[in-house]
C-alpha cells in the first residue's frame, strides 16, 4: 500500500496549545503507511470576505491552505473548544476552504480529535465540527474518538503527550483514518 499523507491542522494559535501538542504526538505515533505533516499557517489566513474572493481571488495564505488540504490524502483536525464550539480561526479557515471552485474538503477523509483542560475533552466542539463537515461533503471518520480531557495532567512541561490511553487512541485513530482513506479510494 502507498503512504497516506495526512495533513494535521490545529484549531489553536497558542504556542503552548494542547491541541498542537496532540498533533505532534500524532506525528510521532504515526503507524506504518502514514505520514503526518502539521500545517503552520492558520494564523496568516485573513478574515473571510467573499468580496475579496470574488473580486481579487483567494489571498495567498488562503490559497496555500486550500492547496495543502487538496494535496493531502486525509486531514486530521485537533480542535480546542471555545464557548461550546470550535475556535474562530478554525471556522474562518474552513469557510475559506469551502468556497468554489473546487471546495478543498469535498470528498476528503477527515478525523477529529481535541484536548482541553475540562473533563469533556472538546466533545461539543467536535460535534459542531462534524456538522460543518457534513455540509462540506467531507467523509468524517466516526471512531475511534479522541477526546483528551484534563489535558494539563496528560502532557509534560515540554508539551509531550504522556498519557498512554490517549497515545493509544491517537495511534488507533490514525490507523483507522489510513484504512478509511484506502476504502474510500479503491
Residues 43-75 pLDDT 10s: 999 999 999 999 999 999 999 999 999 999 999
* Burial bucket for residue 149 (CB in 10 Å: 0-12, 13-18, 19+): middle
pLDDT given at position 121: 87
Mean pLDDT, rounded, for 9-36? 97
Q: How confident is the model at residue 80 (pLDDT cuts 50, 70, 90)?
A: very high
Mean pLDDT, rounded, for 119-126? 93
Mean pLDDT, rounded, for 117-128? 93
Task: Tell me the CA end-to-end span of the chain in Å, nearest whole number.
Answer: 11
What is d(CA 68, CA 65) in angstroms, rounded to the nearest whole number? 5
Averaged pLDDT score across all residues of the chain: 97
pLDDT given at position 120: 87
Predicted confidence (pLDDT) at residue 152 exceeds the cutoff of 80: yes
Look up residue 9 and give its three cell numbers.
491542522
* Burial bucket for residue 84 (CB in 10 Å: 0-12, 13-18, 19+): exposed
pLDDT given at position 143: 96
Of all residues in the chain, what percent carry a pLDDT higher than 70? Answer: 99
Which superfamily does CATH assign the domain made up of 4-184 to? Flavodoxin domain (3.40.50.360)
pLDDT given at position 1: 63
Amino acid at each position: 500500500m502507498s503512504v497516506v499523507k495526512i495533513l494535521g491542522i490545529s484549531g489553536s494559535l497558542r504556542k503552548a496549545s494542547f491541541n498542537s501538542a496532540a498533533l505532534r504526538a500524532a506525528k510521532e505515533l504515526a503507524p506504518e503507511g502514514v505520514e503526518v505533516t502539521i500545517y503552520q499557517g492558520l494564523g496568516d489566513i485573513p478574515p473571510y470576505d467573499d468580496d475579496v474572493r470574488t473580486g481579487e481571488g483567494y489571498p495567498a495564505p488562503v490559497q496555500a491552505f486550500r492547496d495543502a488540504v487538496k494535496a493531502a490524502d486525509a486531514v486530521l483536525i485537533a480542535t480546542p473548544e471555545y464557548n461550546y464550539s470550535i475556535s474562530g480561526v478554525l471556522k474562518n479557515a474552513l469557510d475559506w476552504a469551502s468556497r468554489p471552485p473546487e471546495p478543498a474538503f469535498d470528498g476528503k477523509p477527515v478525523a477529529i480529535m481535541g484536548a482541553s483542560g475540562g473533563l469533556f475533552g472538546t466533545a461539543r466542539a467536535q460535534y459542531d465540527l462534524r456538522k460543518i463537515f457534513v455540509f462540506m461533503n467531507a467523509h468524517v471518520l466516526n471512531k475511534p474518538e479522541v477526546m483528551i480531557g484534563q489535558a494539563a495532567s496528560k502532557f509534560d512541561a515540554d508539551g509531550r503527550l504522556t498519557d498512554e490511553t490517549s497515545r493509544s487512541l491517537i495511534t488507533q485513530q490514525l490507523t483507522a483514518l489510513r484504512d478509511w482513506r484506502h476504502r474510500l479510494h479503491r
